[in-house]
Structure 1
Amino acid sequence: MIRNKILPLCLLICIHWVADAQTPVPVKRLLQSPYMRGASFSLIVRDVQEGKTVYSYDTDRLQSPASVLKTVATATALEILGEDYRYPTTLEYNGTLKDGTLQGNLHIKGSGDPSLGSSHFAPEQNKFLATWIAALQKAGIRHVTGSVISDESIFDTEGASIKWLREDMGNYYAPGSYGLSVFDNMYKLSLQTGAAGTRPVLKGTEPDIPFIRFKNYLKAAPVSSDSAYIIGAPLDDVRYLYGVLPANREAYVLKGDIPDPALYLARYLTTQLQQKGIRVDGAPSCYRIEAEENRWKKGERQEIVTTYSPTLREIASVCNHVSHNLYADALLKTVGLQYKPRRNEVVSSFGRGVRVVKEYWEKKGLNVFPLRMNDGSGLAPADKVSAGFMGELLVYMATESAVSDAFIASLPQAGVEGSVRNFLKGSKLQGKARLKSGGITGVRSYAGYITKDGKTYAVAVFSNNYSCPMSQMTRLLEQLLLQLF
């Protein structure tokens, strides 16, 4: 009987000793800090070539990943769609074309491309408008009796996840993702500020979006930078301006999201056509409006021209380098198109994407229980993931994936470029780490690869609910990685 009691006790002590041995001293010091009281912390470092875990701490803990979740969205999209995939956007018409007059409508058919007209690609890659107009002129279309109608029906109308915070919606960094997007779904609002305490004057937007109605509650203050928000719901043309701006500025710019990109694109093309001498009689519209008014018709259309996005390899690189939320959410919804709903099942575009992601990685042998996704961007505080899952994903992408090079190259070099250009800068790891960073209120995280002495390591580190400023936590995690490597 005594032997039976001693054996489990010895095993428990041995297991505890092994787990404790994997927790490095720098992690223990970090956890003893007063600002980590009540916080949660996870870490994993795995030797990519050998697959063994070098360091680990609380790897099963569900953590808020913030933008580190973009690595899951980009890895899955590259795996499923391939690095050479390009999004098509097609200009079509219905009706009859005779003697330069189109008795019908022009349609812009979207496929979910988040990069149409994006500022993150060279101008020659964004000449979609010139290409469309040239194709219309070649087709001899000089008059459209109907309207320009955007067809964004490939995704649903839930552009922003219902799990996002109010403070995010309306801001440029949290645009909705739709079947048609343009110009990063972003505009710049110019303002002029006067003396402290006065209300800034709105001077206009770039691009011009006359249908937005701004409710201005801003104030000028004796500060050097703004603490201002543009708040508004998806598809709503009202935007609320709150906070303070620096006083006495001739020109100050805030950025916001285009509320209804599909409708805006139809309006934009209509204006551009009329400026080029192509008359359009009807009012611009989009699938959402036409369907709500029972005017949508599925009739056959004739293709005028199709333009294509940059490759998925390029899109994934922008997504992870600059932490582009629109790109990540669009990629999630795009892979979600492969999900086939069951009879009478209603699933959102976000929901379909999440199901495809989890099913895909489960089939690859990964434990997806710790993966709790609500979007592809990581903006939702309800998003959760474990360091253990991230370690498995990173090792797979480095050793088994056919798109390994594209995925690794999509992660920016720490201390050199992208959102981690200042992280590890001037240290021995500068240029030797490719990391995706993540940061929202109370969350600081990093995941990617570090190379040292000819070996590559998969690294994931998460810190949630700490009590110091994010900038301080960034420095602490930087020091931790330097001590570990």
Structure 2
Amino acid sequence: MFQRASAVPPLRFPSAEGASVGLCVVRLSDMTVVAEHDATRLLVPASVLKCLTAATAQLLLPADYAFITRLGANGRLTADGTLDGDLSLTGGWDPTLGSRFFTARKPFVDWAIERLKEWGVKRVAGGVVVGNAVSAADALSPYWLLEDLEWEYGAGCYPLNYGDNSYDSREGRLADTDPGATLCNLLAAMMKGADIAVEGGEDDRVSESIGDVAGAESLFAAYSSPCRDEILRVMMHRSDNLYAEAMLRAPLLAGACGSVDGIDVRCDSALIRQVALWDSVGIDLRRGRIVDGSGLAPVNRLSARMLADILCHMGNKKEYVGLFPLVGREGTVRNFLRRTPLDGRMALKSGSMTGVLCYAGYLLGSDGSATHAVVIMVNGFTCPSSKVKDSIAAYLRGMF
């Protein structure tokens, strides 16, 4: 059955007459469009853009992909345990260092002190410094709203990230604008507590590249992040913008073997790689506008049909479908469709900002596999978002 778009939007909520609704539902068994409305209209996707970021990462990265952060001893290590130089931390854009969402892992600072003791370092004549020769000029997207940048969800993505690039305050969780300095200072303080003296102070000055110190006999150690899908699952369940920006860049880092010297890790380069990937499978993203990996930029534009095409392409991949939180139970959709017949039967990513509410994901069969790709995008409403959410819930219950 093919239900053509009508002039009347399929959703009923206050201010619907002035809003834009894009809708596309596709049965995966035969790729039949069973319902659509204005499916080619370009709309603000908000965080459902992360569906694209996650799909791109899974197609371009191996399942065991991990970000690498390097600990380097820049200088000679003398017989008495003195490092005649700096201790450097070279970031590999890992968004999980010190993250409160991976607490079961050995913390980076504890791991680093273990390595120093293994090396026999008892004193660092220099300081603890950032080893990246060039910081990310586009850590903060120029397309993000200024008022978002002070909050955790607007934190930038840097070569060296730490603690979700945020900290608690009376106002809430605020963005850390220099996470490299935060980590360097923390490690220096922890080293002193472990009886490893740091003489050169605690700062975030950029060190010479590892191995460039004249006559240096450098020591290296590599700290790995969780694997690809562990990070993507947190990204999708929490709608984490930092994780999304890092995963957008990850394909540019793949194969670097821990060394990021000379690698182009700009957002624009990552987006070019993403467009090329989807073009190769027959999905043209160029008609839309994508400027980040998280969906935080209000200038992003995608259509319901474009998102549905991506979901259809990925619908037979259980590792992708498994990234989405279950409605009524998990993540940002844990209260959506709760205690309804669809509770636990849909896996959806939500996206919202002022005047924007979107859902994208799958209807699941009894075996947990995806049976339908579902995209609903609403832009330009002026009523409370709860009214739009209720309307979308009623539509999905009526359909399924």
Provide TM-score, normalisation by structure 1: 0.75
Q: Which runs of 5+ in 1 are unaligned?
A: 1-17, 192-227, 229-253, 339-346
Shift of 1:370: 3.4
Residue in 2 that maps onto 1:168: 148
Report how many aligned residue pairs link the two structures: 387
Aligned counterpart, 2:225: 309
Aligned to 2:72, the other structure's residue is in SS state: strand
Give the aligned partner of residue 362 of structure 1: 279
Structure-2 residue corresponding to 1:266: 184
1:471 partner amino acid: S
User: What SS class does the counterpart of residue 188 from structure 1 fall into?
Assistant: strand
Identity, % of aligned pairs?
Answer: 33
- Whether the 8 Å CA contact 2:67–2:225 is kept in 1: the answer is yes
Deviation for aligned residue 1:447: 0.3
Residue pairs, 1:8-47, within 5 angstroms: 21-23=3-5, 28=9, 30=11, 34-47=14-27
> Using the alignment, how far apart are the partners of 2:371 and 2:271 within structure 1?
29
Q: Tell me what 1:100 maps to.
A: 81
**Structure 1 counterpart of 2:246:** 330
1-side partners of 2:39 and 2:246: how far apart? Answer: 29
Query: Would you say 1:388 and 2:305 are equivalent positions?
Result: yes
Q: Residue 90 of structure 2 corresponds to which residue in structure 1?
A: 109
Corresponding residue SS for 1:95: strand
Q: Please give the residue correspondences for 1:86-485 in structure 2 after superposition, counting only pairs within 5 Å.
A: 86-98=66-78, 99-121=80-102, 123-152=103-132, 156-189=136-169, 191=170, 254-286=172-204, 289-290=205-206, 299=212, 302-337=218-253, 349-399=266-316, 404-451=317-364, 456-485=371-400
The structure with more radius of gyration: 1
Structure 2 contact 327–334 (Cα < 8 Å) conserved: yes
Give the Å deviation of 1:149.
1.2
Q: What amino acid is the match of 1:333? A: R
8 Å contact kept, 1:96–1:104? yes
Unaligned runs of 5+ in 2: 255-263
Q: What pairs with 1:57-76 in structure 2 (closer than 5 Å)?
A: 57-76=37-56
Counterpart Cα distance in 2 of 1:446 and 1:161: 24
Secondary structure of the corresponding residue to residue 118 of structure 1: coil
8 Å CA contact retained: 2:10, 2:395: no
Distance 1:453 1:129 in 2: 45
2:60 maps to which of 69, 77, 80: 80
Residue identity matched to 2:280: K
TM-score, with structure 2 as normaliser:
0.90
Which digits, 9 at most, give the CA deviation of each residue in 1:154-195, with x for residues without a partner? 761322211111221110122111111111111112x4xxxx
CA shift in 2, pair 1:155/1:330, >3 Å: farther
Contact 2:132 2:209 in 1 (8 A): no
Q: 1:423, CA displacement in angstroms? A: 0.5
Q: Deviations over 1:38-59 (max 9, x none)?
A: 2111000001121121111111
Q: Higher mean Cα deviation, 301-310 or 174-183?
A: 301-310
Deviation, structure 1 residue 327: 0.2
Question: What is the alpha-carbon root mean square deviation over aligned residues?
Answer: 2.4
Is contact 1:370-1:386 (8 Å) kept? no
Q: Flag the 1:22–1:467 CA change in 2: closer, same or farther, 3 A.
A: same
Give the 3 Å change call, closer, same or farther, for CA 298–355 of structure 1 in structure 2.
Answer: farther
